């Protein structure tokens, strides 16, 4: 019983990070129709910036939580403006290919600039774990675990709320729903795309801050995160922010549970198996957006 609980708690923690990364991916996709394959690179840079701030410059940790999303958000908006905007004149496909190369460029630039294999980032909380009695067993929670899980989910929910209820979010949703209509209201494509990339990239950066202590900083982080975020987003329906959260948590739990009770070498394979099953039963994902009528 205690073991099952601890397995689930572990799964939810990874799942929360997946969810945060997936939300950023979905925000950018919803607003700009672009699947951002460079998303993992932004998460990696977020983790790297955390390392620089916390370990190299020895700033207090909370500053990383504020500065990193702003920094990575601005970088994302800049990349959209400098690299992707010119590509958009060609077509959407070119933009998507562009993000693939952008992601590779981010990882490789990092690999060139930083020749160590892995940078370790200390945890925010290092106090003794909390022990909770469950019958005869003891369940162990670390403060870090609780912080990452609740923090990532809170930030993710805030991201969803901004997208759904703020006027910034409304501009993105309007642009996604009908780009000509949005322009006729006074929204510029560049402006809204810039905001979407800022918000999506800021969420990626925050995912990096949350992931840094438990995953370390390495170029591989980019690929592993974008793969998981992508799977989580597709499970959730790709255009649903709530779906991305559920998809992330589901993926984290299924990976950990299958590793624990089926085979520990399965966790990577199982995420694709889960994706396959979801697509087989519900090709539109678990939370498809309402089908739009042409207006």
Residues contributing to the site for another protein (CB under 8 A): 3, 6-7, 10-11, 14, 115-120, 122-123, 126, 129, 138, 140-142, 145, 167, 170-171, 173-174, 177-178, 180-189, 191, 214-216, 218, 220, 224, 256-257, 259-261, 263-265, 267-268, 289-290, 292-295
Judged by CB, which is closer to another protein: 75, or 222?
222
Which CB atom, from 18 or from 75, has the smaller least distance to another protein? 18
Least CB distance from residue 265 to another protein, whole Å?
4
CA distance 76 to 26: 14
CB of 28 to another protein, least distance (A): 19
- Closer residue to another protein (CB): 37 or 193: 193
> Measured from the CB of residue 1, what is the shortest distance to another protein in angstroms?
12
CB 162 → another protein: shortest distance, Å?
14
Residue 194 has phi, psi (to 5 degrees) of: -60, -45
Nearer of residues 284 and 289 to another protein, judged by Cβ: 289
- Residue 90, both tokens: 């060609």
Are 96 and 37 contacting, i.e. CB atoms less than 8 angstroms apart?
A: yes
Encode the chain in three state secondary structure.
CHHHHHHHHHHHHHHHHHHHHHHHHHHHHHHHCCCCCCHHHHHHHHHHHHHHHHHHCCCCHHHHHHHHHHHHHHHHHHHHHHHHHHHHCCCHHHHHHHHHHHHHHHHHHHHHHCCCCCECCCCCCCCCCEEEEECCEEEEECHHHHHHHHHHHHHHHHHHHHHHHCHHHHHHHHHHHCHHHHHHHCCCHHHHHHHHHHHHHHHHHHHHHHHHHHHCECHHHHHHHHHHHHHHHHHCCCCCHHHHHHHHHHHHHHHHHHHHHCCCCCHHHHHHHHHHHHHHHCCCCCCCCCCCCCC
CB of 73 to another protein, least distance (A): 19
Smallest separation (angstroms) from another protein to the CB of 142: 5
CB of 275 closer than 8 Å to CB of 234: yes
| CB-nearer residue toward another protein: 72 or 225 | 225
| Least spacing, CB of residue 136 vs another protein, in Å | 14
Q: Closer to another protein at the Cβ: 10 or 98?
A: 10
Cβ-based nearer residue to another protein, 94 or 263: 263
């Amino acid at each position: 019983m205690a073991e099952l609980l601890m397995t689930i708690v572990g799964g939810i923690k990874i799942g929360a990070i997946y969810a945060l990364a997936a939300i950023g991916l979905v925000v950018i996709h919803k607003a700009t129709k672009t699947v951002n394959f460079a998303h993992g690179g932004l998460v990696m840079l977020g983790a790297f910036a955390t390392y620089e701030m916390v370990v190299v410059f020895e700033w207090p940790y909370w500053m990383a939580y504020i500065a990193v999303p702003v920094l990575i958000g601005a970088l994302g908006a800049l990349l959209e403006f400098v690299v992707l905007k010119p590509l958009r004149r060609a077509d959407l496909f070119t933009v998507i290919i562009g993000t693939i190369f952008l992601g590779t460029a981010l990882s490789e630039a990092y690999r060139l600039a930083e020749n160590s294999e892995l940078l370790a980032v200390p945890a925010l909380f290092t106090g003794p774990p909390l022990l909770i009695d469950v019958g005869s067993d003891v369940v162990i929670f670390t403060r870090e675990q609780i912080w990452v899980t609740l923090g990532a989910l809170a930030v993710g929910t805030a991201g969803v709320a901004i997208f759904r209820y703020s006027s910034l979010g409304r501009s993105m949703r309007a642009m996604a729903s009908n780009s000509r209509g949005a322009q006729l209201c006074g929204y510029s494509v560049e402006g809204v795309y810039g905001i979407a990339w800022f918000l999506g990239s800021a969420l990626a950066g925050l995912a990096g801050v949350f992931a840094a202590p438990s995953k370390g900083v390495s170029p591989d982080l980019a690929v592993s995160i974008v793969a998981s975020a992508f799977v989580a987003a597709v499970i959730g329906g790709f255009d649903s922010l709530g779906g991305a959260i559920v998809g992330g948590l589901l993926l984290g739990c299924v990976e950990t549970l299958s590793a624990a009770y089926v085979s520990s070498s399965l966790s990577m394979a199982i995420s694709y198996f889960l994706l396959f099953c979801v697509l087989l039963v519900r090709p539109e994902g678990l939370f498809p957006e309402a089908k739009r009528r042409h207006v």
